[in-house]
Amino acid sequence: MKFLNLINKNLFFHELTHFILSLLSGLFVWLIFRDWRLLPVAILFGFFIDVDHLFDYLNWSRGSLKLSEFFTPRLYVRGSKKVFVPLHGWEFLPFVWIFGRIIGLKIGISGFQWAASLAYFTHMSWDQITVNPNTLGYFFIYRLINNFKMKSFNGKK
Ligand SMILES: [Zn+2]
């Protein structure tokens, strides 16, 4: 698989796990609400939220984009000594639910809020366990007040 050459093996399995956990979240909520559209909703909120790494990458690369670099997060995290990941925040979880509820009602998908928030929860949990930063590292407000410093994210002042 050519893609595997581009993407580091650990990152590949990390993201694969996000994908599987999102799929399982979607399937679980589908069992209750019986709407197949909950699967893409879960994948969007449990897998694609990692697109926010693009923000960290572009901040470091000053706008240029090389996929091989983008798929090597340690390069730009260590390079810039910053961790932004603006879509990652434990405090966003209730807002994901509220947003999901509003959108779900608007477009007529019941269970949207549960698929979105459960998948988001699995994403944040897997990152919290595997990346293992400071306990507060995955709170956006904590990163903001510490100026997104990698040291604060890791818990070393
Ligand atoms: Zn993530």
Q: What pLDDT, on the 0 to 100 scale, is given for residue 9?
A: 83
- The model's pTM is 0.93
d(CA 64, CA 66): 7
Instruction: Find the 7 Cα to ligand 1 centroid distance in Å.
Output: 15
Beta partners for 149?
82
d(CA 34, CA 110): 9
Instruction: Find the 52 Cα to ligand 1 centroid distance in Å.
Output: 8
pLDDT in tens, the chain (157 residues): 455 566 778 899 999 999 999 999 999 999 999 999 999 999 999 999 999 999 999 999 999 999 989 999 989 999 999 999 999 999 999 999 999 999 999 999 999 999 999 999 999 999 999 999 999 999 999 999 999 999 999 986 4
Instruction: Find the 131 Cα to ligand 1 centroid distance in Å.
Output: 9
Would you give the distance in Å from CA 105 to the centre of its chain?
Answer: 24
- On whether the CB atoms of residues 61 and 73 are closer than 8 A, the answer is no
Q: What are the tokens at 31? A: 């069992």
